[in-house]
A and B are shown apart, each in its own frame.
Chain A
Amino acid sequence: EDKVVQSPLSLVVHEGDTVTLNCSYEVTNFRSLLWYKQEKKAPTFLFMLTSSGIEKKSGRLSSILDKKELFSILNITATQTGDSAVYLCAGNTGTASKLTFGTGTRLQVTL
């Protein structure tokens, strides 16, 4: 059975801090790993990672994949209150583009 585990489950930081969110996966026929941000209802797409060791970056957010260790991290530098959300990680199985999600990490950024 496909499994995605995220840690920590929740995190409270002060504005300006740097955070690292973790995602480990066991997914058959692995194709890619995706990160989403969920603020209220709809998860919004952040990154898709397919190759090991290549960092994807968007502003203050970055992510990297380790296919040998079946692991990915999402980094957020200089956090802002607008970064407060649940961050979801999902493994994609290649057969029919099926996503298996983790339970998410709830990040709260305080002033």
Chain B
Amino acid sequence: EAGVAQSPRYKIIEKRQSVAFWCNPISGHATLYWYQQILGQGPKLLIQFQNNGVVDDSQLPKDRFSAERLKGVDSTLKIQPAKLEDSAVYLCASSLGTHTDTQYFGPGTRLTVL
């Protein structure tokens, strides 16, 4: 079974530039999550989708971050404009449903903002 796919694996940008990350969840998984993991910290949930609807985006900085999952499968997370403090690993995870506890993570995208 293929795991959660993410791209790119690494990205370096200047502050104020824009960046987008892509995630393809495990086939059949209805729920998709985006996490931000700053060095030395645990992952922090940014947004949770159930199919193509948003379940929780309470910790998403909506002035600069946006995410979509238009067809209920893959998803994109965008930052526009980026700040230095956005440097982190962005992890995508998926689970079968909102009440299925096990989330499976992708390899992540390491973003460096200079």
Q: Are A99 and B45 in contact (CB under 8 A)?
A: yes
Residues of A within 8 A of B98 (CB): 96-97
Instruction: Determine chain A's interface SS by DSSP, over half rule.
Output: strand
- Give the number of residues in A that approach B within 8 Å (Cβ atoms): 25
Shortest A85–chain B CB gap in Å is 14
Quick one: which of B42, B55, B102, B106 contacts A96, CB cutoff 8 A?
A: B55
Shortest B104–chain A CB gap in Å is 7
Residues of B within 8 A of A103 (CB): 40-42
Quick one: which of A31, A45, A94, A101 contacts B43, CB cutoff 8 A?
A: A101
Quick one: which of B40, B89, B99 contacts A41, CB cutoff 8 A?
A: B89
Q: Are A101 and B44 in contact (CB under 8 A)?
A: yes
Q: What is the size category of the interface that chain B forms with chain A? A: 20 to 34
Residues of B within 8 A of A92 (CB): 101
Q: Given A48-B101, A98-B48, decide whether A42 and B106 contact each other with a Cβ distance below 8 A.
A: yes
Quick one: which of A34, A40, A98 contacts B45, CB cutoff 8 A?
A: A98
Q: Are B105 and A101 in contact (CB under 8 A)?
A: no
Q: Given A96-B55, A98-B56, decide whether A45 and B45 contact each other with a Cβ distance below 8 A.
A: no
Which chain A residues (39-71) contact chain B, with CB distance < 8 Å?
40-45, 48
> B interface vs A, CB < 8 Å?
4, 31, 33, 40-45, 48, 50, 55-56, 89, 91, 95, 97-108, 110
